A and B are shown apart, each in its own frame.
Chain A
């Protein structure tokens, strides 16, 4: 459903993405993980055809940026900037018209999604009067309304309440079962822990590794969080405000872009959590 080959994006001399290769089959849930500034959002913008890039992107066999590709594409943006002066209902109607969807079917589907994401009370409210979390929910419904074959979600869980996060995870799983390919870009690893099928770890604009969940069963690296830290932890984590950064004095080796690197023993990433727990226990006592 999605084929990205050699995607390279430069802003002047700065390289945002370098030779990014991704692929997703129908019904697959892929996650794009990486620290801030890793190039996840830029890659998604390139896939959407919003930015010029080198390389090829094909969506359902159609080149990105073609209207046929856009017809089967759903996108939840990083920042839910809706049309302020449209009500939630009108926002949905606009999407229905833009994608030339069947009105009755879309209306029923929208009602179902509104109910699942608990937006019933605000459907006639202007989008400018919604909270950020509610705007994000509206944005998710707008992306789902055209019943896309490929769904791109850029930090979809930001600002959502636990109920909505749970519901979104269920929706994503339902969609995958229906054969929709889903690509989620996030750094909230725990929110995608149970649903991912394929994980691309990005760092400094490159895909440093790709993991399939079925290949990891029974291995230590089954946990997405462990994989993430093993692949991305580097000198960045040693940075202190009052000291200049010296890339050459990096303590941890840079992650290798090979799948084998994930088999290395992970660093003690969970240690701070346990100490916190101990402290909490002491307080309780």
Chain B
């Protein structure tokens, strides 16, 4: 199960993700993200991954696509609170552009 809740009042606006983001969930997740991102005018977003227990390369691809979407509109995207296993995946694929902290560790 993937769940997305948007918190538009925080600074920057925050998207809380929870559940899993794997090949089984990406279709739903993609629809949910589009629903939020395309409804709003371009703005900075923070993705709170605290609730995400599992991510695979399909999930990573979706996150990269969101990042590019933000870059094209010239607005920011940052990720926070990834779980241990998610950090390991970012580390493995050296996704410092997505989550700069992996370079340090």
Determine if chain A interacts with chain B: no
Question: B residues engaging A (CB < 8 A)?
Answer: none
